[in-house]
Structure 1
Amino acid sequence: MLDKKRILHEEETIRKALASRGQDFDFSPIKDLDREISQLKQTWEALREKRNRLAQDIGIRKRNGQPTEDLMDESRTVNELISKDEGLLASLENRLDEMLWVIPNIPREDVPKGASEADNVTIRTVGTPKSFSFEPKPHWELGAELGIMDVEHTSLVSGSRFSTLTGAGARLERALANYMLDLHTLPENNPGGVYIEHSVPFLVRKEALMGTGQLPKFQEELFSCPEDELYLIPTAEVPLTNLYRETILDSSELPIRMVAQTACFRREAGAAGRDSRGLIRQHQFQKVELVWITNPETSATDHERLTADAERVLSGLGLPYRVIALCTGDLGFSSAKTYDLEVWMPSQKTYREISSCSNFEEFQARRAQIRFRDPKTKKTRFVHTLNGSGLAIGRAVAAILENGQQLDGTVRIPEVLVPYMGGITEISSRKKGLK
C-alpha cells in the first residue's frame, strides 16, 4: 500500500503517477477522514489527560479523608467517553485502511508510459523461431495424439480448464520442475548467490493475501474455503513473502532469495473464451516461483538479476523468447515495474507470456509490515520485495511440445532435460513407445 503521509503531502505527484496507469483517484475522502481522525485523537488524548488528573485528585482526597463521590462520577463519565471514542477511532481507521488498500502502486520513473499492452516495449529478443517444413500443431493436439494429455476425461472429474498429464507428459512436467529448482538452488549454477528452496502451504489466511496485494482487489480470482477462512494460493509469492510478515530483519540478512514449486489456483474470472484449450490458462497449474526480499538501494539491480535468472531457464531449454517491459497502463496492481518473458508458440505464430518478473518496491512490505534496521540510522525501514515465475511449468510443457515437434509426430526433448527424463530424448505415441 502507499504511504498515507506521502499521499497527503505529495497529492499532485501521486495523482499524476496513478493517472499514467489510467487510474483517476480522488483523495478528498482520504484527506477528510484523516482530518477527522486527527481531531478525534486530540479529543481522546485530552480525555485521557483529564482521567489521569481525576485519578490524582481522587487519590489526594482519599489521603486527606475528603469525599470523592463527585470525582468518581466524573471519572466514570470520562471513561465512558474514552471507550466510545476508542471504538469510533478504530472504526474510522479501518475505513481509512480500506481506502488505502485499493490504491495501486506507483510506477517507477523508468517504466514506459502507455495506456495498454499495445504500448509495451520489447527490450530484447533471444533465439530464432524454428522454421517448420509442415504446419505446426497446437500443443493440445500433440498431447492428445501422443497420449500424454487428457482433457476430455479430466473435465468429467473437475470441469473445464483442468487437464491431466500422463506418462511422458507427467514425467516432462516433473523434469521441468526439477531442472528449474536445480538451476536456481545449486551453487555451481548461481555464483552470485543461491535461492533457498521452500516447501510452503497451498492454503493461506486472508491476511497473507492482503499483504501481497491479491486482496481485497482480486477477490473474484481466488478459490476459497470460507468455512475455514482460508484461500488456495494463486502463486507461491503469497506464502513465501508472508513468511517474513511483521518481521524486522537485520540489514546483513538481505537479500533473501527464495524459491518454491507449488500448485497454483486461479478462477480466471473474465477469461471466458480465451485459451479455453490446452495448458495456457488453467484453474490449477504448477509453477516455480522466485521471491526476493531486498534492500531498497539495490532493488532495481536485483530486479534485473531476478529477470536474468528466469531467462536462464528459457535459454537452457533452447526456447525462443523475448523480454517485454510493461507500460504504466499494463502494470499489475502491486507492481512498480514489470518485465514479462514471452515464449514463442509456433502454432499461434506469436509470443505468449510464461513469466512475469516484478519489483514491488515497498508496496507489499508496507502491507505486510516487513522491515529492516538501517545500519546507518539505526532506524527501521521497509524492505523491497520482488517476485517472478521461474517458470510457469504448464506453459513450459506447451512450449516444448510445440517447438520440439517433428515431422513424424514425435517431440524432441531439450538436451538439459534428458537426464531428468531418464535418458529419453523424444516423446512418441504410446504405440511407438518412448525413445
Structure 2
Amino acid sequence: MFDIRWIRENSEAFDKALARRGYEASAAKLIALDEARRSHIASLQEAQERRNAASKEIGKAKASGDEAAAQALIDEVAKIKSFIQEGEEVERRLIADLEAAMAVIPNLPLDDVPDGEDEAGNVEVRKWGEKPKFEFNHPPKEHFELGEAQGGMDFATAAKLSGSRFVLLKGQIARLERAIGQFMLDVHTQQNGYMEVSPPLLVHGSALYGTSQLPKFEEDLFKTGGEHYLIPTAEVPLTNMVAGEILAEDELPLRVTALTYCFRSEAGSAGRDTRGMLRQHQFMKCELVSVTAPDQSIDELERMLACAEKVLELLGLHYRVMTLCTGDMGFGARKTYDIEVWLPGQDAYREISSCSVCGDFQARRMNARYRVKDSKQIGHVHTLNGSGVAVGRALIAVMENYQNADGSVTVPEVLRPYMNGLEKIG
C-alpha cells in the first residue's frame, strides 16, 4: 500500500518504478480517485457548516416571530441531514475504490535492483562451497529415487490420502526432516537472536491482506469452509503480530522465527516439478521476520540473508546467492535475495530461501507504526521476511549431496545430535 500524497507529489517517479516491474502507469488513475474522494469530502464539510449555521438561524427566526423563515430553515436542515447521511456512504465507497485500486499495485523496487522480465534477469552475488564429488561412477540420484528405495518416501500412499503434490515420510527420513527443522530453530534462536513463536496456522483474510497475499493472490491459498485461510507461509501471522500497533523505537528491531507447516495451492505451477518433494501443497518451513525502523531495514536485509546462509553452511551445502530482478520479485518486495542450493540429482541450483525487504508497504496495509524515540512523531515501521530455510528442500539437498554408492545417506555432523548420534540412514 502506498501514501497517496507521495504518489501525487512523485507521480512520474511512481510510474517509472512501476514500468520497471512491467506494470502500466497508474498514478493518474489513483490521483483521480483521490481527487473524487477529496472533492466529495469538501462538499460534505460545506454541508455540515451550512447545517450548523442554519440550525442557529432557526432559533433567531423563531425569536423574531418569523415562523415561515424558521420552517424554511428547518426544511433546509432536514435536506442537508439527508444529503450528509447519503454522502457518508458515498465517501466510504470512494475510499474503498481508492484502496482497492492501490491494493493490486506491487511494491516499488529499490534503485539497485536489476531490471529484467523473469528469472533470466537475476544476478549472481556470490557462491559458497564446492559441488560435491562422489566416489561412484553412476549419475547422482534424485531425492525421490533415494527415498523410495529406502522405503521412507511414499508418494503413492500420500496420493491415495490427499491427491497429487503430497508425500508421506516414514522412519529415518521422517526423523531427518524433523531434525533439520529443529536444528534451524536452534540456530536462529540461540545464535542469530530471533525469538521463537508458535503461531496459528489458520488466519483471517485481514492478515493475508496485511502481508499482501490478498486480494491479488487468492487462488494460491487454501480457504476453509468458514472465514479462515491456511497460511501459505509463517510470514503472515508473524508479521501481523504488530498489525494495528504503535511500537516504541526501543523495541526495534523485532526479530521472530517460527517452524510451521505451510499450505499453497500451486495454482500457477501446473506441470512443474511434479516428481518428488520440490513443489508440494503442504511443506515445512522455518520463517524469519524482522520489524525495524526505516533507517535499519537495508542493513537488516543483509543480516537476515547471512542468517539463512549460515544454516546451509553449517549443513555443508553448496549454494549461490542471487539478486532477483524487477520482473521476478515478489509482489510486496522492494528487494529480494534468493539462495539457491545445489542439487546433484537435478544437476541444477534450486531456490531454498528468499529474503525480502518490504519497506513500509506491508506496514501501511496493517497500520503498523512506531513512536520515534524522544519525540511525539509516529511513523510506519519497515518489515522484512525470509526463509531460514525451507525444510523440505533442505531435506532434498541433504539427501542428494550426502548420498552414497549403496543408496544410503550420510547424516551431516550438525544433525547427528538430533538423530541420537545416527551417522547414516538407509
Give me the TM-score of the superposition, normalised by structure 1: 0.94
Q: Is the Cα contact below 8 Å between 1:120 and 1:327 reproduced in 2?
A: yes
Q: How many Å apart are 1:56 and its aligned residue?
A: 2.6
Write out aligned runs for 1:1-400 (5 A): 1-60=1-60, 67=67, 68-132=70-134, 133=136, 134-186=138-190, 189-190=191-192, 194-225=193-224, 227-375=225-373, 377-400=375-398
> Quick one: structure 1 residues 62 and 146, their matched pair in 2 at CA, closer, same or farther if it must change by over 3 Å?
farther
Q: Distance in 2 between matches of 1:370 and 1:231?
A: 22
Q: Distance in 1 between matches of 2:23 and 2:159?
A: 39
Contact 1:155 1:162 in 2 (8 A): yes
Contact 2:4 2:31 in 1 (8 A): no
Q: CA-to-partner distance for each residue in 1:239-271, whole Å, 9 max, x for gaps?
A: 111111011111000000000111100010121
Q: Distance in 1 between matches of 2:328 and 2:306?
A: 21
* TM-superposed deviation, 1:135: 1.2
Distance across 1 between alignment mates of 2:64 and 2:405: 105
CA–CA distance in 2 between the matches of 1:247 and 1:60?
48
Deviation, structure 1 residue 62: 6.2
Is the contact made by 1:4 and 1:100 (CA closer than 8 Å) also made in structure 2?
Answer: no
CA drift of 1:376 comes to 5.6
Summarize deviations over 1:349-405 as a string: whole Å, max 9, x none: 111000000000111111111111122652111111000001110101111110110
Question: Amino acid of the residue matched to residue 387 of structure 1?
Answer: N
**Paired positions, count:** 422
Which digits, 9 at most, give the CA deviation of each residue in 1:199-227, with x for residues without a partner?
111111111111101011111101102x4
Give the whole-Å Cα distance in 2 for the aligned partners of 1:12 and 1:253.
Answer: 36
On the 8 A contact 1:124/1:322 being kept in 2, the answer is: yes
Distance in structure 2 (CA, Å) of the matches to 1:412 and 1:264: 28
Contact kept, 8 Å, 2:357 with 2:385, in 1: the verdict is yes
Question: What secondary structure is seen at the aligned counterpart in 1 of 2:294?
Answer: coil
Question: How far, CA to CA, are the matches of 2:386 and 2:259 in structure 1?
Answer: 12
1:177 aligned counterpart, secondary structure: helix
Q: CA shift at 1:156, angstroms?
A: 0.6
C-alpha separation between the residues in 2 aligned to 1:59 and 1:393? 75
Secondary structure of 1:329's counterpart equals coil
SS in 1 for 2:341: strand
Given that residues 333 and 357 in structure 2 are in contact (C-alpha distance below 8 angstroms), is that contact kept between their aligned partners in structure 1? yes
Distance in 1 (CA, whole Å) between partners of 2:33 and 2:194 is 44
Distance 2:282 2:424 in 1: 27
Q: Distance in 2 between matches of 1:409 and 1:174?
A: 21
Distance 1:59 1:317 in 2: 83
Unpaired stretches in structure 1, ≥5 consecutive residues: 429-435
Bigger mean CA offset, 353-362 vs 123-132: 123-132
Question: What letter corresponds to residue 36 of structure 2 in structure 1?
Answer: E
How far did 1:408 drift? 1.5
Q: Percent identity?
A: 49
Q: CA RMSD in A?
A: 1.4
Structure 1's consecutive aligned runs of 4 or more residues displaced over 6 angstroms after TM superposition are 62-66
CA distance in 2, matches of 1:277, 1:414: 25
State whether residues 369 and 379 of structure 2, in contact with CA within 8 Å, keep that contact through their aligned partners in structure 1.
yes
**Structure 2 residue aligned with 1:432:** none
Q: Which whole-Å CA distance do the structure 2 matches of 1:138 and 1:43 have between them? A: 68
- Write out per-residue CA displacement over residues 311-333 of structure 1, whole angstroms, 9 at most, x where no aligned residue: 11100111111110111121111
Mark the CA change 1:74 to 1:200 in structure 2 (over 3 Å): closer, same or farther. same
SS in 1 for 2:78: helix
TM-score (norm 2): 0.96
Q: Is the 8 A contact 2:358 2:384 kept in 1?
A: yes
Q: How far, CA to CA, are the matches of 1:63 and 1:169 in structure 2?
A: 91
